[in-house]
Amino acid sequence: MSHVTEVAVEITDLGCLERAAKRLGLELRYGQETYRWFGRHVGDYAIPTGFTQADLGRCEHAISMPNNDTAYEIGVVKRRDGKPGYTLHFDFWQGGYGIEAVVGVNCNRLVNLYSAEVATQEAMMLGYSVMGEKILPDGTVELLIQA
């Protein structure tokens, strides 16, 4: 079965995505043009908006679990809605054979860490200091920023 879904996030900074992935023990593989998934669409789940069946499994970059050749991967895919940047696609069937346990349902852990990386970078560019970080029980990342 395939259950490829699009994660509700706009990725505009691959460096921040790479750091977020690394914090989860994952690797962003630049230039990897395919991601591991079931391998074919069986029609039991909607294809992400703007994409075709032929697009599934194809990407510009991929996020993978090092030393795990059975876990599915997350495709970092150029957006198809006219906005700049990327979105994430992954097959969550059977928990993506381990990756969903790391990134969370709908990639919420990865998305929260990506957002924290972007916020940290922006704060530092504005001259602020990030004094600390706390991950709340729901996975939200709380940053302590000081002027």
Domain ranges of the chain: 4-106
Q: Is 86 in contact with 21 (CB distance < 8 Å)?
A: no
Burial of 15 (0-12, 13-18, 19+ CB in 10 A): exposed
pLDDT score for 2: 53
**Given a cut of 60, is residue 61 above it in pLDDT?**
yes
Does the pLDDT at position 1 exceed 70? no
pTM (2 decimals)?
Answer: 0.92
Q: What is the mean pLDDT of residues 68-94?
A: 94
Residue whose C-alpha is closest to residue 5's, from 84, 82, 105: 105
65-78 confidence digits (pLDDT tens): 999 999 999 999 99
Strands 61-64 and 74-78, bridge-based pairing = antiparallel
Segment 72-86 mean pLDDT: 95
Structure tokens belonging to residue 43? 């029609």
